[in-house]
Amino acid sequence: MYVATKGGERAIGAAHAWLDETGRGDPALPELTADQVQAQLGLAVDRVMAEGSCHDRGLAALAVKQSRGDLIEAAFLLRAYRTTLPRFGASAPLDTNAMAIQRRISATYKDLPGGQVLGPTFDYTHRLLDFRLAAAGQLPSGAPEAEANNEPTPRVTEMLAREGLMQREAESEAEPGDLTREPLSFPADRALRLQALARGDEGFLLSLGYSTQRGYGGNHPFVGEIRMGEVAVGFTPPELGFEIDLGDITVTECQMVNQFKGSRTEPPQFTRGYGLVFGHGERKAMSMALVDRALRASELGEAAEAPAQQQEFVLSHCDNVEATGFVEHLKLPHYVDFQSELENVRTMRASVEAAK
Amino acid sequence: MSILARAEAAEIAARLDPLPGLPAHKRLRGPETGLVMVRGRTGGDGAPFNLGEMTVTRCAVRLADGTVGHGYVAGRDARQAELAALLDALMQDPERRPGLEAAVIGPLERAQADRRASQARKAAATRVEFFTMTQMR
């Protein structure tokens, strides 16, 4: 056993050196900087911040570079880093209504106050590979500007709620549970579910959201509104005793509007599925909103039979850092466990042979 | 404080450093980087939930006359946090305050307003103007 450990150490050292060399690639090419990753692979950076559950574009960009673009590995690096930092406290809840809008669209109302603002989107591009990008050196022509009229952009959900057609969210300032401090237990309340979904894997939530659309727990969703832009983060340092802004962060919010046929206590109305993520992450915000609404099935008296409606299934498996840890641990030495399995199968075979 | 939180250390230093007669300061705490748990609201306007953390750097300084200043800024820039704390201390002096407002805070605030306005104009250029049949007639 001792010999094997020493041998492993040398091999691991060599493997990591090779990893570094491979990660750097052709030394004749200029090295990619974390700043370049942050600026030019911004959506990868945003995804790593969301799933790493730590807003810091510089750290996320470094993690993307270090992980050679493996975004789950990058999220893991960011999660590991955050455990080294003390926590100063919690922010005031973000006021997404006061967002400096870069993008804001609604699929339910064509003409809504504040208008439909497309922002920097892949929508309506032709998805043709742009070979001009392969030949670097050209600067884009620059985004046009137009007179901004600073018209308010009220929430679509609020417009419906004023008519009594949208279920209001519970008014509460209760201290939300925090799954980074207390392990999840079931049933988990909505605040905990939203925290888990906000840091959940985009691919997993996308597939679950898709499954609800295909009939596995359908909830007839419409995109009431998607908005993306900067919001101020307010924080009250105990030594000051009043709220200050720590700065602005970019977030994406999605409000799914869903039919609800009513119950004994509530009239027919619309209900919300809510998605909120760090950075520009529209697909994630939409998926989160679909799954959030699906997970409200029991609360709204709907049958909870589909996978997306079962919170224990969804919340226990949506975290890609946890999932990768358990899946990838299978490749670690299981020599002793396997020896016993081997012994077992040999014994069983021998007894079958003997019985013949 | 909110303006200093949104300014880069170099931007603050460029405006603060040329000012004459700045007193020396001593660090009381930090600069140190930690985390703040960012909260959202369910449905945008309901009960709070924990969205995820963000890095924040804080610093506390004391001037020779005993005034204490605090700085809290998003991110990991120790210099920005220290400059924010220093300015917080300096601006508690009513005699110094107008000069600092004019030389440091005002210009930073205008630069930030310009950046915001430029973003707003780019967003406005992507606003959809629907032409319905009724309007085209």
Instruction: Render B72-96 in DSSP notation, one character per residue.
Output: EEESS-HHHHHHHHHHHHHTTSTTT
**Is A329 within a domain?**
no
CB contact under 8 Å between B54 and A276, yes or no, is no
Residue ranges making up the domain that contains B50: 2-126
What does the pLDDT read at residue A29?
93
3-state secondary structure of A11: helix
The per-residue pLDDT string of chain A (356 residues; one tens digit each, 9 = 90 and over) reads: 344 455 688 889 999 999 999 999 999 999 999 999 999 999 999 999 999 999 999 999 999 999 999 999 999 999 999 999 999 999 999 999 999 999 999 999 888 888 999 999 999 999 999 888 888 777 888 899 999 888 888 899 988 898 888 888 888 899 999 999 999 999 999 999 999 999 999 999 999 999 999 999 877 899 999 999 999 999 999 999 999 999 999 999 999 999 877 777 778 889 999 999 999 999 999 999 999 999 999 888 888 899 999 999 999 999 999 999 999 999 988 888 899 999 999 999 999 999 98
Q: What number is the average pLDDT over the span B60-82?
A: 95
Q: Are A242 and A236 in contact (CB under 8 A)?
A: yes
What does the pLDDT read at residue A328?
93
Task: Considering only the beta carbons, identify the residue of A100, A116, A176 that sits closest to B128.
Answer: A116
Chain A environment of B49 (Cβ under 8 Å)? 176, 190-192, 194-195
Return left, alpha or beta for A330; rule: phi > 0 is left, psi -120 to 50 is alpha, else beta. alpha
A67 and A115 housed in the same domain: no
**Is A316 within a domain?**
yes
Count of structural domains within chain A: 2
Count of structural domains within chain B: 1
DSSP A81: H
What does the pLDDT read at residue A3?
41
A101 and A76 housed in the same domain: no
A246 and A295 housed in the same domain: yes
**Is A143 within a domain?**
no
A43 and A183 housed in the same domain: no
What does the pLDDT read at residue A45?
98
A9 and A114 housed in the same domain: no
A9 and A106 housed in the same domain: no
What does the pLDDT read at residue A169?
87
DSSP string across A316-343: HH--HHHHHHHHHGGGS--HHHHHHHHH
Give me the residues paired with residue B69 across strands. B61
What does the pLDDT read at residue B125?
93
**Is B122 within a domain?**
yes
**Is B69 within a domain?**
yes
CB contact under 8 Å between B48 and A176, yes or no, is yes
Distance between CA atoms of residues A94 and A89, nearest Å: 15
A76 and A7 housed in the same domain: yes
A113 and A73 housed in the same domain: no
Q: What is the CA radius of gyration of chain B?
A: 20
Task: List Cβ neighbours of A199 (8 Å cut-off, separation of 6 or more).
Answer: A50, A51, A52, A53, A319, B52
**Is A129 within a domain?**
no
Query: To the nearest whole number, what is the mean pLDDT of chain B?
Result: 91
**Is B44 within a domain?**
yes
A273 and A203 housed in the same domain: yes
Name the H helices within chain A.
2-24, 34-40, 42-52, 57-66, 71-82, 156-162, 190-198, 202-213, 282-295, 311-317, 320-328, 335-355
| Cα B94 to chain centroid, rounded | 21
Q: What is the CA radius of gyration of chain A?
A: 25
**Is A209 within a domain?**
yes
3-state secondary structure of A221: strand
**Is B137 within a domain?**
no
Task: List Cβ neighbours of A251 (8 Å cut-off, separation of 6 or more).
Answer: A94, A96, A99, A228, A229, A231, A276, A277, A278, A279, B40, B51
What does the pLDDT read at residue A106?
93
What does the pLDDT read at residue A1?
37
A23 and A158 housed in the same domain: no
Interface of A with B in 259-278 (CB under 8 A): 272, 274, 276, 278
**Is A336 within a domain?**
no
**Is B131 within a domain?**
no
**Is A348 within a domain?**
no
The reply to whether A194 touches chain B by the CB within 8 Å rule is: yes
Tell me the ipTM for this assembly: 0.92
Identify which has the larger pLDDT, A138 or B32.
Answer: B32
Q: What number is the average pLDDT over the span B103-118?
A: 94
A60 and A11 housed in the same domain: yes
Q: Are A90 and B39 in contact (CB under 8 A)?
A: yes
List the one residue out of A301, A288, A315 whose CA is nearest residue A212: A288
List the one residue out of B44, B43, B118, B121 whose CA is nearest residue A117: B121
Number of A/B CB contacts below 8 angstroms equals 233
**Is B132 within a domain?**
no
User: Which pLDDT band holds residue B23 (cuts at 50, 70, 90)?
Assistant: confident
What does the pLDDT read at residue A2?
42
Q: How many CA atoms are closer than 13 Å to the CA of B50, on its beta-carbon side?
A: 23
**Is A142 within a domain?**
no
Q: Tokens in use for A116?
A: 């439909």
Q: Are A31 and A21 in contact (CB under 8 A)?
A: no
A196 and A222 housed in the same domain: yes
Chain A environment of B119 (Cβ under 8 Å)? 100, 102, 230
User: What is the 3-class SS of A140-157, one letter each residue?
Assistant: CCCCCCCCCCCCCCCCHH
Q: From A25, A52, A82, give the residue that closes a domain.
A: A82
Q: Are A233 and B74 in contact (CB under 8 A)?
A: yes
**Is B59 within a domain?**
yes
**B137 pLDDT more than 80:** no
What does the pLDDT read at residue A6?
59
Residue ranges making up the domain that contains A278: 96-122+150-169+177-324
